[in-house]
């Protein structure tokens, strides 16, 4: 088999956006980490909001989440450009892990008479249906397919996707009254993606570790995991928010309940932090915090990062 | 008065985005004009979606429409960056001319505990209220203020804004059954902006000319006008859509009812086409169509264009 063809049958992942909601730097933030980006300090790189593109055949692509920056992300990624005259796209579908704005709003960029499938839990699809603005997606072309906990989906093109519930919370815009944090249900998914060559697990938002998650990621070739904050209280300490990471539905990297410790022995091929908040010092190259996660065997995702498995 | 101060009291306009809905090139389009952009042909420049920023004091800014590309547009415009530590923005408010996705979705980029005012017709504000996703804007910080036909608003900072109804149609996502095109009402606004030094009229969407519009723009220092399509049927001819410009609520540049002819004698200081669709050949430098509008005294807006009046 020629080299090109062998590469074309590998599982390929492109990190379209590696930042959490709001991106990095954040539009109205001059915290110490954002300040470096506004000053164009060379130790940091700007990052758009959380989304991945995956393909197993080198031609047909799926998005894992659709960030508000999707239009810009497609412009930066030649593999996702239209290849044929008239209307065309290599994109075949989008898997949504929750209903947060940073994972959902990119659907509004996918107007203009293109057929594809949106996969999400019934709760997330109901959100889309309940917001009239999403009617710009023509229902005669865009189909919605519900995902269920542990039930494998075959979207074609040598990919199999198994969604699984992880501890989370309802999207910010649906919060009312007392908010249940860390509950396991339709609000928050992880995705296990298999091709004939490799297995990847993607969990951009996770409020806490569980036995089920550890079993799922054990032995995976690649884990892309929630790297929102380094410490649970970093946004509070900076005076930017009154919310801890936990309150936003994310487990911090450090601490007794943090992800560094939780995945220590899981036998994963490559471990990559993504969905990184603008306050997280791992965004700064050679910072003590960046070194600490690297020493523990983690990589830090950046926009345009390509991984071939 | 020092030069800096005199400049600071001028009306300054920055074109954040000069393309129509979907931007240029459009994500799934390989029409002849988009093809040039995908090939990085030097005769064309990529453009983000329709939005302007204006200031009269050089410090406090207002947006005219909030495009889905707003995050990227702010990153490209140093005057809109946060200037002080912690949460900060020079942005004070947003005026919406309609409820189309390309003018509305940017509100989702303005999360993160920032106070500002959203101005729109009651119909447009109702749309925002009816879509739960916009609840990410904290109602204790973001206020909504209805605009009425011909009633001047004083948002402060040496600006006065008079909205006025123009022929249009309801947003795509609110269409149902037979769609009224060219009706004058709450769906579509023009904005007249006055400072102590100058007067600007902004009409990014207009289905047809009227005596009222001509009176409003007569003698203005600057007109930024709907440049969506060059010919009424260009999207149909290219096989990209079954809709004419008229059906989308826009008057073409050319033709008996076109904007070139309509504004011929209006005595306007500068005339600039913006909200330009990806199919419009005026996007191509030195094309016959670009030359034709330039010969008629029009400029073609581009992202980052700055105008000081």
Residue B309's closest CA among B54, B18, B76?
Answer: B54
What is the rounded average pLDDT of the residues A46-61? 97
Residue B17, chain A, CB below 8 Å: the answer is: no
Q: What is the pairing mode between strands B86-87 and B298-300?
A: unpaired
pLDDT at site A27: 97
Residue A46, chain B, CB below 8 Å: the answer is: yes
Residue A279, chain B, CB below 8 Å: the answer is: no
CB B57 within 8 A of CB B157: yes
pLDDT in tens, B103-120: 999 999 999 889 999 999
Take residue A83 and report the two structure tokens written for it. Answer: 């290849």
Average pLDDT of chain A is: 93
pLDDT in tens, A193-207: 999 999 999 999 999
Take residue A70 and report the two structure tokens written for it. Answer: 């999707």
- Which residue ranges in chain B fall short of pLDDT 50? none
A35 has a pLDDT exceeding 80: yes
- Nearest chain A residue to B78 by CA distance is A38
Count of alpha carbons within 13 Å of B175, Cβ hemisphere only?
17
What residues in B contact A238, CB-CB < 8 Å?
86
pLDDT at site A229: 95
**Structure-token match 């509070």, residue found:** A236
Q: Do B86 and A172 touch (CB under 8 A)?
A: no
**Which strand ranges, in their side-by-side order, compose the sheet holding B12-17?**
B142-147, B116-121, B91-95, B61-64, B51-55, B12-17, B306-308
Residue B81, chain A, CB below 8 Å: the answer is: yes
| B113 SS3 class | coil
pLDDT in tens, A79-126: 999 998 889 999 999 999 999 999 999 999 999 889 999 999 999 999
Residue of A28, A82, A172 with shortest CB distance to B30:
A82
pLDDT at site A86: 86
Q: Do A29 and B87 touch (CB under 8 A)?
A: yes
CB B65 within 8 A of CB B190: no
- How many Cβ pairs closer than 8 A exist between chain A and B? 162
DSSP B281: G
Residue of A112, A133, A136 with shortest CB distance to B26:
A112
pLDDT in tens, A130-170: 999 999 998 999 999 999 999 999 999 999 999 999 998 88
What residues in A contact B81, CB-CB < 8 Å?
38
CB B125 within 8 A of CB B97: no
Residue A134, chain B, CB below 8 Å: the answer is: yes
Residue A72, chain B, CB below 8 Å: the answer is: yes
Q: What is the pairing mode between strands B183-194 and B199-203?
A: antiparallel
Residue of B46, B86, B133 with shortest CB distance to A75:
B46
| Confidence label for A3 from pLDDT (cuts 50, 70 and 90) | low
Residue B273's closest CA among B74, B50, B120, B71?
Answer: B50
Q: What is the pairing mode between strands B153-156 and A153-156?
A: unpaired
Residue B172, chain A, CB below 8 Å: the answer is: yes
What residues in B contact A67, CB-CB < 8 Å?
none
CB A289 within 8 A of CB A230: yes
Phi, psi values for residue B127, rounded to 5°: -60, -45
ipTM above 0.85, yes or no: yes
pLDDT at site A246: 85
pLDDT at site B304: 98
Q: What are the DSSP calls for A217-272, one per residue? A: HTT-SEEEEE---SSTTHHHHTTS-S--TGGGT---SSSTTSHHHHTTTS--SEEE
- Nearest chain A residue to B279 by CA distance is A86
DSSP A186: E
pLDDT at site B47: 98
pLDDT at site A175: 86
Residue of A28, A80, A113 with shortest CB distance to B87:
A28
Q: What are the DSSP calls for B30-66, one per residue? A: E-HHHHHHHTT-TT---B-BSEEEEESSSS-EEEES-
Q: Do A27 and B173 touch (CB under 8 A)?
A: no
pLDDT at site A5: 58
Measure the CA–CA gap between A270 and A86, rounded to whole angstroms. Answer: 40
Measure the CA–CA gap between B158 and B194, rounded to whole angstroms. Answer: 8
Residues 6+ away with beta carbon under 8 Å from A202: A52, A64, A97, A190, A191, A192, A193, A223, A224
Q: Do B28 and A130 touch (CB under 8 A)?
A: no
- Which of B133, B135, B177, B238 has the most A C-beta neighbours within 10 Å, making it the best mutation to test the interface with A? B133
pLDDT in tens, A253-277: 999 999 999 997 778 999 999 999 9
Provide the residue ranges of all domains of chain A, joining segments of one domain with +. Answer: 3-304
Residue B132, chain A, CB below 8 Å: the answer is: yes
Q: Do B101 and A240 touch (CB under 8 A)?
A: no
Dihedral sign from CA coordinates of B281, B286, B287, B288: positive
Residue A241's closest CA among A275, A278, A269, A206?
Answer: A278
pLDDT at site B212: 92
A301 has a pLDDT exceeding 70: yes
Measure the CA–CA gap between A281 and A228, rounded to whole angstroms. Answer: 10
Residue A110's closest CA among A79, A163, A65?
Answer: A65
A37 has a pLDDT exceeding 80: yes
* Closest CA of chain A from B264, distance in Å: 33
CB A154 within 8 A of CB A234: no
pLDDT at site B155: 96
A2 has a pLDDT exceeding 80: no
What residues in A contact B34, CB-CB < 8 Å?
82
Residue B34, chain A, CB below 8 Å: the answer is: yes
What residues in B contact A241, CB-CB < 8 Å?
113
* Closest CA of chain A from B65, distance in Å: 16
Measure the CA–CA gap between B194 and B186, rounded to whole angstroms. Answer: 22
Q: Do A28 and B112 touch (CB under 8 A)?
A: yes
Q: Do A136 and B108 touch (CB under 8 A)?
A: no
CATH number of A3-304: 3.60.15.10
Measure the CA–CA gap between B89 and B80, rounded to whole angstroms. Answer: 7
* Closest CA of chain A from B141, distance in Å: 14
pLDDT at site B181: 85
| B97 SS3 class | coil
**Structure-token match 């990227």, residue found:** B72
Q: Do A136 and B172 touch (CB under 8 A)?
A: yes
pLDDT in tens, B192-225: 999 999 999 999 999 999 999 999 999 999 999 9
A20 has a pLDDT exceeding 60: yes
């Amino acid at each position: 088999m020629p080299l090109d063809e062998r590469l074309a049958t590998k599982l390929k992942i492109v990190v379209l956006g590696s930042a959490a909601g709001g991106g990095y730097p954040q539009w109205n933030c001059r915290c110490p980490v954002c300040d470096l980006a506004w000053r164009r300090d060379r130790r940091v790189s700007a990052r758009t909001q959380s989304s991945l593109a995956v393909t197993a055949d080198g031609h047909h692509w799926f998005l894992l989440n659709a960030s508000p920056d999707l239009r810009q992300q497609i412009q930066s990624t030649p593999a996702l450009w239209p290849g044929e005259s008239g209307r065309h796209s290599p994109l075949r579908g989008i898997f949504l892990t929750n209903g947060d704005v940073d994972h959902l709003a990119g659907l509004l960029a996918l107007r203009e008479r293109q057929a594809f499938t949106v996969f999400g839990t019934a709760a997330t699809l109901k959100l889309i249906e309940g917001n009239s603005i999403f009617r710009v997606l023509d229902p005669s072309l865009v189909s919605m397919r519900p995902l269920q906990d542990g039930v494998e989906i075959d979207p074609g093109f040598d990919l199999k996707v198994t969604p699984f519930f992880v501890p989370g919370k309802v999207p910010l815009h649906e919060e009312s009254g007392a908010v249940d944090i860390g509950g396991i249900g339709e609000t928050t998914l992880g995705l296990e993606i298999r091709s004939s060559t490799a297995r990847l697990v993607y969990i951009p938002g996770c409020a806490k570790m569980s036995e089920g998650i550890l079993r799922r990621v054990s032995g995976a070739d690649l884990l892309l995991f929630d790297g929102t904050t380094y410490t649970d209280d970093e946004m509070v300490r900076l005076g930017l928010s009154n919310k801890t990471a936990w309150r936003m539905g994310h487990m911090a990297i450090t601490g007794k309940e943090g992800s560094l410790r939780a995945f220590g022995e899981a036998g994963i091929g490559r471990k990559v932090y993504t969905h990184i908040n603008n306050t997280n010092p791992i965004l700064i190259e050679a910072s003590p915090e960046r070194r600490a996660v690297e020493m523990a065997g983690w990589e830090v995702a950046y926009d345009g990062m390509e991984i071939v498995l």
